[in-house]
Amino acid sequence: MKTATPQTNNPPATGFANRNRNEKTMNESTIIQLQPHDEHNRELESNVHPPEWQNPTPADNYHLVVIGAGTAGLVTAAGAAGLGARVALIERELMGGDCLNVGCVPSKGLIGAARVAATVRDAAPFGVNVPEGSAVDFGKAMERMREKRAGISHVDSAQRFKDLGVDVFLGQGKFTDDNTVTVTRKDGSVSQLKFKKGVIATGARAAAPPIKGLDSVDYLTNENLFSLTELPKRFGIVGSGPIGAEMAQSFARFGSEVFLFERGDHILTREDDEAAAVVQNQFEKDGVNLMLNSKDMELAPAADGKISVKVTQNGTQSETVVDQLLVAVGRAPNTDGLNLEGVNVDFDKKGIQVNDNLQTTNPRIYAAGDICSKYQFTHAADFQARIVIQNALFAVGPFGKKKSSDLIIPWATYTSPEIAHVGMYPKDAKEAGIEIDTYTQQLEHVDRAILEGNDEGFVKVHTKKGTDKIVGATIVAENAGDLISEITVAMQNKIGLAGIGSTIHPYPTQADAIRKLGDQFNKTKLTPFSEKMLGLLRRLNVGK
């Protein structure tokens, strides 16, 4: 399947993310520029940072002032307002944060299009013959993503939150004392907000890793990747974590020649090794050039605006020239400009320090989401926000205080196949002194997976040794991100493998792989005597 590069009046956008985000000051002049400026991005902007927005007159005092309107801030503000609290929400860039604008939402739009491209490419074994010369229209795929993102954006819009009873302030928030935040707009106007409790939900941003020559080239991060309108012919990606892996496979499926640079000896190094191996095998089938064991990276401008990438692999230096380079390594907390020192909120390069109740070192101020959590996922930020609402508004009374350590947080990497995980890995259990049993069901023995041609993968569950208590699980499957929820529900509600095994699952489904693990566990409970009795009963039934 060849790739068409459509002509467009909108050049590939690199503008806003070429600035050094580590040196920026947090003020309204640094608002992310949505490129290209088409009808979809204009709709998005009108929702999440409307140019004509007028900040309201502040209330005399707020129960909560929330700085940051990403997932954590939005959930905190909406939930608290729904309970009758007076809430102010401050956002200096785009409401919806990274997830809506430059993260979860646009990336899944691209991944969806890339999966369709791969399905068409690999349709012949199913008896579906695609005409020779069929092409991927990358520009159209990106336009569709922008359209869908804009359509979703009203949920996070300034107007919707105003309608929910939240006072929405656009501009830079800054603590001036223990109960005051000022909001400064680009025009210099200032609002002063008094509060009983404050919440910091400013999130994190792409960090510039220490790569020689990085400052000499125009590179992409997640903040401007989704503004591309033309497909890079040769695309370099630094880092094979979730973002790097997802985009490497997607762009390869669109038709780019992708070079994925990774310091380790395999991709997705934080995941289960066997799970990563399954995905890596698919990457090779998709044509991703895996530049593993890449050390001593050096970047430099090359001819015609291209980028030279030099690395040393196993003692040998090589050079790769690419049209675009995505740097997908590292995140930095958005703590600049908040005057945290002035209100005694401790923080470091990893983010704001909080206790188990998500309270900062200033007892009047809480934090939630990427700014303070090692779990930098939208769903984690959502549930941390719920903890903040209860602890900030109902610290005294029958509800008590909620702990973030009680959260059971699953996650997924949306490659094909996907990898999803929840709970402990074996190394975590070993460090905690917990002995485990491991049960594995290969998808090659699951009928639905076989019939759909998606039988490379497995479900692996770890239980506390000698019991059916689940302490962790990893799934590798096309829809692993959906399947992991069954195990998460079981863990949350203290249902073991035996309970899953006794639950009827519809046939044929991929989820039947999880039920089969319950059968595996139940077989381990058979004593030699019970096995002999069952054998006798089977023989007697045969005799009849």
Which amino acids are annotated as binding site for NAD(+), given as ranges? 239-246, 262, 330
Rounded Cα distance, 423 and 428, in Å: 9
| Complete DSSP assignment for 259-317 | EEE-SSSSSSTTS-HHHHHHHHHHHHHHT-EEETTEEEEEEEE-GGG-EEEEEEETTEE
Nearest to 222 by CA among 95, 114, 331, 311: 331
Bind-site residues: 108, 173, 239-246, 262, 330, 370
Distance CA 402, CA 413 (A): 28
Using alpha carbons, select from 89, 92, 102 the residue that is nearest to residue 31. 92
What is the rounded distance in angstroms from the CA atom of residue 421 to the CA atom of residue 432? 18
| Separation CA 541–CA 504 (nearest Å) | 25
Helix (H) or strand (E) holding 439: strand 436-442
Tally Cβ neighbours within 10 Å of residue 451: 10
Peptide bond into 11 cis (omega under 30): no
Rounded Cα–Cα distance for residues 81 and 180 (Å):
19
Report how far Cα 131 is from the mean position of its chain's Cα atoms. 36
CA 188 to centroid of chain Cα atoms? 35
CA dihedral 256, 261, 265, 269 (to 10 degrees): -90
Report the alpha-carbon distance of residue 486 to residue 536 in Å, rounded: 36
In which element (H, E) is residue 173 found? strand 172-177
Q: How does DSSP assign 135-153, residue by residue?
A: EEEHHHHHHHHHHHHHHHG
User: Which residues define the annotated binding site for FAD?
Assistant: 108, 173, 370
Residues 38-77 as b or e (16 or more Cβ within 10 Å = b) = bebbebbbbbbbeeebebeebeeebbbbbbbbbbbbbbbb
Residue 219: count of CB within 10 angstroms of its CB: 22
- 36: cis peptide before it, omega within 30°? yes
Long-range contacts of 315-323 (CB under 8 A, 24+ apart): 320/234, 320/236, 320/259, 320/291, 321/234, 322/232, 322/234, 322/235, 322/236, 322/259, 323/232, 323/233, 323/234, 323/235
